[in-house]
Structures are given as structure tokens and as C-alpha cells.
A and B are shown apart, each in its own frame.
Chain A
Amino acid sequence: MGVNLPMKVANSHRNAFTRIAQAIILRQAIESLETSNVTIVLGKGRPRMDAETKTDDKQAEATLQIRRACADDIDYVIALDERITGLAKPNYWRDVIERYGQRRLEQRVFFVAESDQHPKSILGYVVGEVRAWEFGSGPCGWVIALSVDPDARLQHIGERLFEAITEEFRRNGVGTLRTMVARDNPLHMTFFRSEGMMAGPYIQLEKSIGMPAKNTTER
């Protein structure tokens, strides 16, 4: 449901309708990433989550296993990322699975959400890492990627992935979670806000130093 602006207000706010309409369209996808209560059961480096049967939303929660990604998952992750971003990055993801799925696992996290009904059906993933002393910052857990299959929305998968990586970082002694979100991506921004994330003590700065990299092929 959207917000109907009175005409008098719309006349005095020329771009308000456009912005609100865009925001509402994007927010209709937000619930793919929204919250639920889950119990996280952590085994030996292989977290598992038992979802409570919470029914406050009309859509049922997916029956999922959240587990560490393995090499066999990577083609599914590449396909899911390509569906969402429109850009295939096989080399990037093969590098990610090597670095985040196999080495220094006490600091690095690559979890996938797998459907219990359809094994090998990867419905989402989250990637992160504990980093310390960069930019003068003490240890904190960075979430560097979090995506959910657009067809598996409204099942709280994003929140379960977020909870899983949070718990993993906490288990490794980290007390702060950090991520970076595009300002013009209200879907992601609203999700992380709904998980309690606020602006941190750093501001990201950048400067153009030449021709922008083309965004159509993997580098």
C-alpha cells in the first residue's frame, strides 16, 4: 500500500510523487529481506538454523538450512548473482569461494541458504570478514555481500542470513558489524536499517581519477 499525497502538497513538492512512487515500488521487495525470530544452532564451523514457525506475516517462512558455502555451490551463487545484478562474474565468485569458503574460516564467512525441500537450491548467500586496524578501526565484522533469490521473497531468508553471520562474528569475539550500502538503493538500505544498523563513525569518500570502468563485463 502506498501513500496518497493530497494535490495541494504535490503541487508544492514537484518531485515528491516521483520519489515516493519509486520508493514504494522498491519497498515492495523489502520483505524478502525482513525480520523474523530464529534460533541459531552452531556446530563445528557449520552453523545451522532452526526457524521458529512465526506467522505474523502472511507468507510462510522457508524451511532452510544456513550452512557454509562449498565449491559445489559456486555455480548456483554465480547464477543467482547474475539474475539479481544482470552481470555474470564467475572469476570473482570463484576467487571468493577460495578465499572466504576455504581459508581463515575463523575470520571469514560465506554462508548460503539452501532449501530443505530442494537440496542444492541456493536461495541466498552472505559473505563477510573480520577486519581490524584499517582506517584506524578496531576489529569489526564486515558484511560485504548479501543477496536473496527474488522468487524466494517474503520468507525472511535475508534476515536469517544476517542473523547467522552476526552470530558467527559474535562467536569470534567481534562486537561491531559494518557494511556499506549504495545511497540510491533503498531496498538494501531499508533492510539493514530494519536490522538495527545505524550510520557509523566513518564517511566513505571517493574521487574520480580517470575513465570509469565499464560495468558490462567482468574485469
Chain B
Amino acid sequence: MKLQIASRLAIYALLDLAAHPDRQVSVAEIGEKYGISTHHLAKVMHTLGRSNLVRAVRGAGGGYQFSGNAKRTTLLDIVQLFESFAQEEDEQSGIGGDTETNRALRQVLDEIDDIARATLGSITIATMLKLIDAHRLHDSNDVAMAAPNA
């Protein structure tokens, strides 16, 4: 599955902010970390702000702060702020018409969409942060094994 750039940027930013909920992080800092244009990221942050997932903190040292609920906000909540799934797009375009072939193909594609939707809808920001920690631990173990005498 491929996410649109805005969805990915939103996920990166929210995970960074949710990992340090007491800290304010600027768009420039997040942009630099992930190699993202600050212009594009600013628009994404604006949408997240309107959805009450982040709040802007003004003044010196200002930036954005996570204001959502990490245990209740799923990846699907975030992605659906920026994109929809293929089924809706096809319905809008009318491609294929009401044919047996199209219905059969639609059945297979719907199966894929359903699984993708269920996966994204079941992984919260809190779960993602645990997953990131697990990767971090795995990476540090790899480093320790590569340099046992370090």
C-alpha cells in the first residue's frame, strides 16, 4: 500500500510530537529530520491543528505540541484527513461500469481495501510509539552484537 505524501508527513510529525508531548517542536525541526519541505509540512500541520491533533505554541521556542489522544487516534484517522480509498475514487469516476467483470474485480479490490482499512484502523499512535521503541531496541542490539568489545 502506498500512502500519499501528506499522509506520511502527518504520521511522521504526529509520532515525533506524541513521543515528547511536553515539548514544542518547530516545523523546521521536523522538516530537517525527515528531509521534508517546510512549506508542504506547514500545510499538513495546519490540517492537523484544525483536527485538534496538534496545537500551535507561539513565541520564542514555539512550534507545535501534540494535543490528541495517542491511545485513541489511529493511523486511519490521520490518513483519512488527507486521502480516501480507491473504492470511492472508482465509484466517482464510473470506470468499468456495472459489468460482471467489474463487480468481480471490485470484490477482489474491496478485499484489499478492507484489510488495509482494518490494519490502519487498529494501530494507534501509542502502538506505533511502542513499535518504534522495539525497532530502536533491535537496532541497538544489532550494534552491540556487531561490536561486542565496545
B127 proximity list for chain A (CB < 8 A): 190, 193-194
Other-chain residue from B51, B74, B114, B130 in contact with A190 (beta carbon distance below 8 A): B74
* Distance in Å: Cβ of B117 to nearest Cβ of chain A: 8
- Give residues 1-35 of A contacting B (CB, 8 Å): 1-6, 9, 12-16, 19-20, 23-24, 27-28, 30-31, 34
What 1/0 flags go to B75-88 for Cβ under 8 Å of A? Answer: 01100111010001
Other-chain residue from B72, B84, B131, B134 in contact with A24 (beta carbon distance below 8 A): B72
A28 touches B115 (CB 8 A): no
A3 touches B76 (CB 8 A): no
- Answer whether residue B138 sits at the interface, using C-beta atoms and an 8 A cutoff: no
A194 touches B84 (CB 8 A): no
Chain B interface size band reads 20 to 34
A199 proximity list for chain B (CB < 8 A): 119
A13 touches B84 (CB 8 A): yes
Query: Residue of A at shortest CB range from B84?
Result: A13
**Count of chain A residues near B, Cβ 8 A:** 31
| Cα separation A183 to B112 with both chains bound (whole Å) | 12
Other-chain residue from A12, A19, A28 in contact with B72 (beta carbon distance below 8 A): A28
A9 touches B47 (CB 8 A): yes
* Distance in Å: Cβ of A18 to nearest Cβ of chain B: 11
- Give residues 110-128 of B contacting A (CB, 8 Å): 114-115, 117-119, 121-124, 126-127
A23 touches B77 (CB 8 A): yes
A3 touches B53 (CB 8 A): yes
B21 proximity list for chain A (CB < 8 A): none
A5 proximity list for chain B (CB < 8 A): 51, 80-81
B115 touches A20 (CB 8 A): no
- Give residues 193-217 of A contacting B (CB, 8 Å): 193-194, 196, 199
| Cα separation A6 to B134 with both chains bound (whole Å) | 34
A186 proximity list for chain B (CB < 8 A): 74, 118, 121-122
A13 proximity list for chain B (CB < 8 A): 80, 84, 88
* Distance in Å: Cβ of B83 to nearest Cβ of chain A: 8
B33 proximity list for chain A (CB < 8 A): none
A9 proximity list for chain B (CB < 8 A): 47, 81-82
| Cα separation A186 to B76 with both chains bound (whole Å) | 11
**A-B contact sample (17 more), CB < 8 A, given A3-B73, A190-B127:** A1-B68, A1-B72, A2-B72, A3-B52, A3-B53, A3-B68, A4-B51, A6-B47, A9-B47, A16-B80, A19-B117, A28-B72, A190-B74, A190-B123, A192-B122, A193-B124, A196-B131
A–B Cβ pairs within 8 angstroms, 14 of them: A3-B81, A5-B51, A5-B80, A6-B81, A13-B80, A13-B84, A19-B121, A23-B74, A31-B71, A186-B121, A186-B122, A190-B127, A194-B71, A194-B130
Binding site for A on B (CB under 8 A): 47, 50-53, 68-69, 71-74, 76-77, 80-82, 84, 88, 114-115, 117-119, 121-124, 126-127, 130-131, 134
Binding site for B on A (CB under 8 A): 1-6, 9, 12-16, 19-20, 23-24, 27-28, 30-31, 34, 183-184, 186, 189-190, 192-194, 196, 199
7 nearest CB pairs, A to B: A189-B122, A183-B118, A16-B80, A6-B50, A193-B122, A27-B72, A190-B122
